[in-house]
Chain A
Amino acid sequence: MDALRIPAPTELDSLEEEHFRQVVRAFLHENYPEELRNPPKRLHWSENKPWYMTLADKGWLCPGWPKEHGGLGLSPAKQIILTEEYERYGVARTNDHGIVMLGPLVIKYGTEAQQQHFLPKILTGEHIWCQGYSEPGAGSDLAALRCEAVPDGDDYVVNGQKIWTTLATDANWIFLLVRTDKQAKKQEGISFLLVDMKTPGITVRPIINLELHDEFCEVFFDNVRVPKANLVGQLNKGWDMAKALLSFERIFLGSPRQSGYALSRLRILAERMGVFEDAEFQDRYTRLRLELEDLKALYGTFVAKLKRGESLGPDVSMLKIIQTELFQRITDTMLEIAGENAGLLEPMEGNRNLHPTGQFIQARPATIYGGSNEIQRNILSKNVLGLPG
């Protein structure tokens, strides 16, 4: 069979969908490093940089950005196909906060000068971004954030603390939500600020997570001077901007691939443990499979909306809840059938496909980040069901 020709990046948006899917597969097959497939933990920059740079060199780094800014200009539907294929292939996440969050925000709300300065540096891997929203006192209630930026001449002076900042030790830039008006209603005194992490007064302290991995951090700001030119959008409008960005992101948290992958590992484990044929296990496994199939169908209805060019409503919260809780149930089942292996720290028998404890622990935070499942249920009951309160 002839290898599929991979068209120039600028042509990708015009391909017919199924053809595009085949192209993505061929691209991954040709370019993705085999040893980085399905990594057991989130990779640090030192580990995912080669892949990031490959994407950068091939012009594939920023699928959602418009072409004039160096992106692929893909429609939401094509972006979903791309994500599906990446997930299917077990492609690791890169340090992608610049690509998926900051870039789109600067494109939508940034000045031309900001676009010209920051976007190319994401495209070359010169700027690696992290997301500084959460604070010790502002998690689910993000609008309560207190890290403040006070104007002083041409600068803002930033004081305060961020926490749970994923991969902050890898990043050289951070985008912040900061308080710029303490008198206003809490959502109305928040601004969006870009900060060079080499600025004096910034301290980053890694936090070891339950995987025993230094994935997230605390970031402290002590009289950090940030040029006023680094404010994105209007002063005190940061909240609305950040929120607008989140709604499209939420469908990705509902992608069935994570559960699909976990279910395939559950099967491998069940076979290894010799319980796959047990009637009792078959019933449980089938339940999980059916749940996955129904999740896929529901997910498909949201994707179809995007394809029709509609925007997603608050009911997309359902996807996040169903997906993350299914992921957890699958990994709970792994521990239940693993016997004493449920206590091991490392993969069983040195085999990455037999790592029930790694999958189990990885599934825990999925119901906490991206708006906890309690918060998503609040959204559902109020904004979808119209219940009072």
Chain B
Amino acid sequence: MSAALEDDARAESIRMIRDSAAAVAPPGGDLSRIRGLRFKAPGHDPATFRQLGEMGWIGLRVPEAQGGAGLGLGEACALAEELGAALVPEPLIPAMLSASLLAAVGAGPLEALLAGTALPLVAWQERADTLEVPGTPDAPRKFLVNAAAATSFLLPVREADRIALYEQAGGALTLEPTQDGGTFGTLTPDLAGASRIAGDIGEALALALDEAALLTGAYLLGGMERALAMTLDYLKTRSQFGKIIGTFQALQHKAADVKMQIALTRASIEAAAATLDEGATGDLRRATVSRAKARAAESAMVVTRQCIQLHGGIGYTDDYDVGLYLRKAMVMANQYGSATLHRRRFMATSPEGEE
């Protein structure tokens, strides 16, 4: 295939993914399903999670030979963006992280996970704001998204100079509610009752975490786009002082600033997806992901805060949907690394002056 044809085919593939997302992410922006699931365990609908499996999304990045779709990050980011626009609470990104890891080691409940009938969550995180995986055997594992729905936990555990992977069926779990209506779980590991399923997952997990960071940025991007769209609608219909408030230049300029943040985020995410799809590894991969995630985390907060302000009082109500985007940004902006963490990692992995 010529390069141009290849580009066309790729664009078509991404377009198809976006269209298919409508099955779970209603394009009209009806968030009543999302509201109905808030603040009730587990924070999402297991039947819809199964649907993500049936759509082939959980295995989107998994090679075809292992039952996945074998698609690139371009497609995966497009999908995450669509789900972000609709605030889909089913934990696709954590599930894709698990799928990448299990596919890489060729073990564990991969098939059931891809089908959406199992949700093994990777319990990797020992503290806030990190991408490091120390694998301390008995350290509580934190910030497990909607963990009440997990069917098992995948525990990275340090053994000499390697990180092995254990699967733990249940376990002592405490849940804390999150702003978006879901929960963060903390798991106490119980290695005695767990089974060891792989011996060396360090590299595979690092790669999977990078992809999860990028997908989180894409999810946030979708939310920013929708929050701005809602805000523009409001600016075009609300009137005060006998004028549509969107005619006030102070507000026009704020909206224009929001648009620029979103444009930069999109450019950064799409460039990162393309760079990784072209096979970037090592420091280049890390720097590219960090650039995109730092931008997305910061923009998501700037954009959603500003959208509240542009609405006035109604933006400060729980009934009005724009606040749901702020809450989701609060929960996701720092997942898989805050802007500060990613800026620091970018500086460490992207030496200057080599162009």
Contacts and interface: CB of A to CB of B under 8 A. Distances in A.
Main secondary structure on B side of the interface with A: mixed
Interface stretch (A86-94, A103-111, A203-211): A203-211
Interface string B317-351: 11100010011001111110011100000000000
B179 A340 contact: no
Contact of B313 (A141, A164, A280, A335): A164
Contacts of A57: none
Contacts of A313: none
Interface residues of B, number: 42
B15 to A, nearest CB: 32
A336 interface: yes
Contacts of A332: 301, 305
A340 B301 contact: no
Main secondary structure on A side of the interface with B: helix
Interface string B155-189: 00000000000000000000011111000100000
Nearest to B142: A340
B128 A341 contact: yes
A261 interface: no
B317 A208 contact: yes
B353 interface: no
B241 A140 contact: yes
B219 interface: no
Interface in B234-251: 240-242, 248, 250-251
A357 B180 CA distance: 12
A360 interface: yes
Contacts of A141: 240-242
B330 A357 contact: yes
A249 to B, nearest CB: 18
B128 A360 contact: no
B135 interface: no
Contact of B315 (A338, A368, A374): A368
Interface in B282-338: 301, 305, 308-309, 312-313, 315-319, 323, 326-327, 330-335, 338
A339 B330 contact: no
B330 A343 contact: yes
Nearest to B181: A345
Given A332-B301, A340-B128, A342-B331, 20 more contacts: A139-B240, A139-B312, A140-B241, A140-B312, A207-B317, A210-B308, A210-B327, A280-B340, A340-B129, A340-B334, A343-B184, A343-B331, A343-B332, A346-B176, A346-B177, A357-B330, A364-B308, A368-B316, A374-B250, A377-B250
Interface of B: 125, 127-130, 142-143, 176-180, 184, 240-242, 248, 250-251, 301, 305, 308-309, 312-313, 315-319, 323, 326-327, 330-335, 338-340
What 4 A-B pairs are tightest by C-beta distance, nearest first? A339-B128, A339-B129, A343-B331, A141-B240
